[in-house]
Structure 1
Amino acid sequence: MTSFHQECLWEKVTHKQIKSGALASHVKFDVCVIGGGITGLSAALHLLEQGKTVCVLEAHQVGHGGSGRNVGLVNAGTWIKPDDVEATLGERRGKRLNEVLGQAPAEVFAVIQRHGIDCQARNDGTLHMAHNEAGLADLRSREEQWRRRGADVELLTGAACEEYCGTDKITGALLDRRAGTINPMGYTVGLALAVTRLGGAIYQHSPVTELNRQADSWVVRTERGAVAAEKVVISTGAYTEGEWTEVRRNHFRGYYYQVASVPLAGAAADKILTHGQGSWDTRTVLSSIRRDAEGRLLLGSLGKASNKPDWFVRSWADRIQGHYFPELGKVEWEVHWTGCIDFTPDHLMRIFEPAPGVVAVTGYNGRGNTTGTVIGRAFAEFLLKDDPDALPIPFTQMKTLHTAGIRSCFYEAGFSLYHAGQCLRVIL
């Protein structure tokens, strides 16, 4: 019998590690990247490929944040519909962002192949599953909007939907063949290994304490050292710590937890997502469902599990599994973990240039695997050429989101009540 406990599955199954200590001296590089997640490592990789010297400062370990703890969906587009993106940003800017993020899964899988990254990558698509008629109507709208833009998407219904999802509780599912799944920690560590192979320096356990301009360089200080650099990339997202930057005041923090079973086998397990897609449903407080390479069932939802007793988390997982996949019977759950998401009120990211030579980003809204990869490349191109056209959206001015704390508390309270209702079988 496995002891159910807190541990990130992706850390457990990613055996390669980055072996580097903290910055403990004064060093000089062309570019200093703050944050050892997907965005920062993607930027570092592209800068190194163009001959720049680069170091990465990570406050904890590579992949510690959302980059290594997410569901592992390689999604196309943003959280909101493409028509809404263009309505919010304007037709020209919105169209540009839709095009870039629509092609982002292909870029992720190309990077994986080019650098030989071992991360359970599967380019078999994703399934957005309608849990009721309103959800189905939403998916019909998404299908029409993406098809109008030439995307390879298809709304599955009836027998095809049941075959792909492995449950009769779904009325329809939008199959996005551009997308796929990865082990996100494996992908992040793979990017870091590629950075070190190209001569980049990675300093772990090196939280930034200060960022200042001195003469012709930016000086990035840590507790035990400092980096002098011509350019700086800030890519810390929801895990931004300290008072050295205003980035953390431009989003509100949300949480997402996941629960993983022991590896499953047998006819009932084999029916679940039999074609290899990752999925999530259309509930307001959504549930994500996927399998990993060893046959585990992974369930997730918005909110924290780290502040709840194990019995509560297990009860929630039993409820979701029992609803969608009752044929499995009693499932043994192995681990659960929680990660942070940087949300914005309109569910669109923000990129900033707080000073010449410094770029920053926040607000991926749960789409970091693809968005981080392309934004990292775009930042590298911008810093190399000083060309705003390299960016998928224009820079915006930093503006403190004064309701950030209230929003975070309100969302978490709502998610907790919803999950309690699911456990008590009041709602699903």
Structure 2
Amino acid sequence: MTGDIPGISLWDHSAEEPESGTPMPGDVTTDVAIVGGGYTGLATALYCAEKGMQAHVLEAERIGFGGSGRNVGLVNAGVWYPPDKVRKLLGDTYGPRFIERFGSAPGQVFDLIEMHQMRCEVTRTGTIHAAHAAQGMRGLRERYEEWQRLGAPVELLSRDAVAERTGTRAFHGGLLDHRAGTVNPMGYVRGLARAAQGAGAVVHTGVRANALRRDGEAWVIETDRGIVRAEHVVLATNAYTDTLWPGLRDIFTTIEFFQLATPPLGAEMAHVLPGRQGVWDTGMIMTSLRRDAKGRIVLGSMGPVVGEAGRGLSRRWAAKRLERLFPELGPVRFEVAWHGQIAMTPDHLPRIIRLAAGVLTPIGYNGRGITTGTVFGQCMAELIAGGDPADLPVPMSDLKRVPFKAVKTGAMRAGFVAHQLWKSF
């Protein structure tokens, strides 16, 4: 992260939930060992603990250090695809189940926040998928009609209606999803850590898993702080997956998503997102827009931060974007810039993979980490407790590598940087 604010992101600095986690005191024996202290790992620990299982989380850095603490903070229903496309990809058994479970996923997140009184700046005023151009409304209208047939509380907005909710006439209309909302993403992941520990799980930070091997009836994780023996292992590292399980990080391509935040702007920006809905647009290279509880405007798009919050290509991109959206604000300073990684699968759908007997990984969230991590954390607990894989919202997947991953990743990164340059003039 670059800018005036310390930490890995704005959310790291502004989250009201305190950091938690303890050093690993030595060798550990547990029912479930979970590698990764983000949404998935901590939701898995929480749901396992609630089922009476011993769960230990192993986080190499600190809670939320990866994608969870760098997220945009939109709590969205569904995935990138409209319901009909999901049904075609997953079939008549899994398709409707996936649509239902992920359609209700924001409610699951909000219920956890309320139940455990997580301090994460939660809003439940919806999110807006905004048409970046006139042709973007066609796809939004189709999505609206599909969700309406399913009884979802979505609303198709005219250009005037979007302008009223966002404060800008730059969008051509939009789709308001009343199921959705926003959070401080670091506040939510820290809240999950507190809830998991309150339920009896143990969260160890500063513990790096170096090797994983089978030893009789147990799995052994060799760490830099000792040995962990467990009957079940969940690898909950998603886009931050390393070489702990050979070939696992090759099943997805990695892209970055960068964000810049202004200082609190006060009364001058009261007309900007007055209901604090989160916004993302229909552009092929997506832009996100939201405001936080202190009155900061947060802009984001695909690609890495190039430069710093105060200078460089990404700052110029953000300044031009803000000028187009809200010219009345005049020149605005940015106080922080950061980016995180997203794991993109070839079909843009998440995976659950049984790597071996007793070893599971949910992976490939395609930018929907908050809801997917929470839902899949519950799925992990259900499977470990003896649940039927046929009841999952997705079928079990194989470990299938993406061909030419390095080439694709490099090409996308270069394209995103070129897009920043193009939009900076």
Query: How does 1:336-351 map onto structure 2 within 5 Å?
Result: 336-351=337-352
Match of 1:381 in 2: 382
Percentage of matched positions with identical amino acids:
42
Match of 1:11 in 2: 12
Match of 1:277 in 2: 277
3-state SS of paired residue (1:112): helix
Match of 1:55 in 2: 56
3-state SS of paired residue (2:346): coil
3-state SS of paired residue (1:64): coil
CA deviation digits over 1:213-270, x for unaligned, max 9? 1111111111231111111111100101234343211111110000000001225x11
TM normalised by structure 1 equals 0.95
Q: Which runs of 5+ in 2 are unaligned?
A: none
1:254–1:342: 8 Å Cα contact kept in structure 2?
Answer: yes
Shift of 1:177: 0.2
1:231–1:383: 8 Å Cα contact kept in structure 2?
Answer: yes
CA deviation digits over 1:88-137, x for unaligned, max 9? 11122111111110000000000001111110011110001101111111
AA at the equivalent of 2:257: Y
AA at the equivalent of 2:236: S
Counterparts of 2:379 and 2:3, CA distance in 1: 44
Shift of 1:306: 5.2
Counterparts of 1:307 and 1:210, CA distance in 2: 36
2:307–2:313: 8 Å Cα contact kept in structure 1?
Answer: no
Counterparts of 1:15 and 1:125, CA distance in 2: 22
2:20–2:194: 8 Å Cα contact kept in structure 1?
Answer: no
Counterparts of 1:223 and 1:355, CA distance in 2: 24
2:20–2:190: 8 Å Cα contact kept in structure 1?
Answer: no
RMSD over aligned CA atoms reads: 1.7
Query: How does 1:37-76 map onto structure 2 within 5 Å?
Result: 37-76=38-77
Match of 1:319 in 2: 320
3-state SS of paired residue (2:397): coil
Larger mean Cα displacement after TM superposition, 183-192 or 384-393: 384-393
1:303 paired with 2:303, answer yes
Counterparts of 1:357 and 1:306, CA distance in 2: 42
- The aligned length equals 422
CA deviation digits over 1:273-310, x for unaligned, max 9? 11220001111111100000000000000000056783
Counterparts of 1:5 and 1:236, CA distance in 2: 26
AA at the equivalent of 1:35: G
Match of 2:37 in 1: 36
1:219–1:226: 8 Å Cα contact kept in structure 2?
Answer: yes
Match of 1:225 in 2: 226
1:364 paired with 2:368, answer no
Query: How does 1:179-258 map onto structure 2 within 5 Å?
Result: 179-258=180-259
Counterparts of 1:227 and 1:234, CA distance in 2: 14
2:17–2:118: 8 Å Cα contact kept in structure 1?
Answer: no
1:128 paired with 2:126, answer no
Counterparts of 1:280 and 1:108, CA distance in 2: 20
1:23–1:226: 8 Å Cα contact kept in structure 2?
Answer: no
Counterparts of 2:29 and 2:3, CA distance in 1: 47
Counterparts of 1:20 and 1:246, CA distance in 2: 29
Compared with structure 1, are the counterparts of its residues 65 and 278 closer, same or farther at alpha carbon in structure 2 (3 Å cutoff)? same
Match of 2:292 in 1: 292
3-state SS of paired residue (1:30): strand
AA at the equivalent of 2:26: S
1:382–1:390: 8 Å Cα contact kept in structure 2?
Answer: no
Larger mean Cα displacement after TM superposition, 240-249 or 395-404: 240-249
TM normalised by structure 2 equals 0.96
AA at the equivalent of 2:85: D
